[in-house]
Amino acid sequence: MTTASFHIAGRTLGSGGAPFIIAEIGVNHDGSMERACSLIHAAKAAGASAAKFQMFDASMLMSLDAVLAVYQRERGARDPRELLQQLQLSPSDLGTLAEECRDAGIYPIVTVFSLPLVPYAAAQCWHAFKMASPDLVNRPLLRAMAQLGRPLIVSTGAATREEVAQGAAWLSDIEQVAFLQCTSSYPTSDACAAIGGMHEVASITRRVVGYSDHTQSIDAGALAVAAGACILEKHLTYDCSAHGPDHAASLNPAQFKEYVQLANRAAILLSSPHKLLQDVERDVRSVSRQSLVATRDLAEGHAITAHDLACKRPGTGIPVAELEATVGRVLRRAVACDRVLHLEDLA
């Protein structure tokens, strides 16, 4: 969809190959460092490329007028600050988790939600940063994160095309930026998945694009890859039925592993975007295409007529496309009936 490229810790995205799959642990650790570490290793075992966390402070992010989203209320939450306070980890703890990711051999990524937290993230070993969908329009935070000099992935959930264009313009001087199509609904129904929106995001931004997947479907990532996604983001949890805001829109480790396998298989099936003659096709090409064949014994010096020729397999002789050009040519040697004619047979 775009000729742009995007790099994370030496890995190039946007030039084909397997998708970069982010296991969004987010707040599915429920505020537990032990559970967060366990999910990092589950993400690695499932084949994810990266594990992502969220750096926030509830009192810093939520005013006294803050309200809950409908899906949060439906999961039993009563107060937005209280909900997040139970789920937040300190910047120091998150830095430890970044190191745990690195030691486990999986890329650490973090979403930062407030400007005062940016210096903490900048001092830690995150390989890339992610902007949450609501902050596509948060120019101060967007610019602060972009100027840290590390790859930046920006989600576009609940945004208009004009807002996507505006965000892309604010980041036009930043080289390493990618955008994710996203539907901000937890979980997202198949009817609202809007994977095809990636095409317009790519057209607007001229950047590498991907899909932030909030569906409950195992195959949505594979479909997104087939539609052109270079990056996938999917929530990972220990239990989809656990109490909390994001568990229901997540996959458990076994499901996540299947999700990764399907997405990678889609990338293999897509292979090159170019129409090429592949080596594996050459044998079938040779035996199944047709050549010009003698309809009777033809003597040396004979001038070929249309009645002397038939079109038959294999395709190892004069191509049938050359039939008209071959009529009238003189044979430099005899050709037996039902034998393929070759260029060297002609004078």
pLDDT classification of 75: cutoffs 50, 70, 90: confident
Count CA atoms closer than 13 A to 100's CA, side-chain side: 21
The answer to whether the CB of 232 falls within 8 A of the CB of 19 is yes
- Name 226's Cβ contacts closer than 8 Å, sequence gap at least 6: 266, 269, 270
- pLDDT, position 76: 72
Q: What is the DSSP letter of 236?
A: B
- pLDDT, position 67: 86
**Phi, then psi, of 131 in degrees rounded to 5:** -100, 125
Mean predicted lDDT score pLDDT of the chain: 95
- In whole angstroms, what is the distance from residue 344 CA to residue 332 CA? 8
For residue 22, list its beta bridge partners: 50, 233
pLDDT at 2 exceeding the cut of 70: no
Q: Which domains does the chain have, with CATH numbers?
A: 6-270 (3.20.20.70), 279-345 (3.90.1210.10)
Q: Pick the closest to residue 106 from 121, 90, 126 (CA basis).
A: 126
Pairing of strands 309-312, 291-294: antiparallel
Burial of residue 133, with CB atoms counted within 10 A of its CB: 0-12 exposed, 13-18 middle, 19 or more buried: middle
The first and second tokens of residue 314, run together, are 């294999």
For residue 111, list its beta bridge partners: 54, 130
pTM for this model (two decimals): 0.89
The answer to whether the CB of 40 falls within 8 A of the CB of 30 is no
Q: What is the pLDDT of residues 36-64, one digit of tens each?
A: 999 999 999 999 999 999 999 999 999 98
Which of residues 214 and 2 earns the better pLDDT score? Answer: 214
CB atoms inside a 10 Å sphere around CB 327: 15
Q: Pick the closest to residue 267 from 49, 29, 34 (CA basis).
A: 49
- In whole angstroms, what is the distance from residue 171 CA to residue 146 CA? 7
pLDDT classification of 235: cutoffs 50, 70, 90: very high
pLDDT at 29 exceeding the cut of 90: yes
Residue the block writes with tokens 């209280």: 82
Enumerate the H helices of the chain as residue ranges: 33-46, 58-61, 70-74, 80-85, 91-104, 118-122, 139-146, 161-170, 197-205, 220-226, 253-270, 282-288, 323-326
- pLDDT, position 1: 59
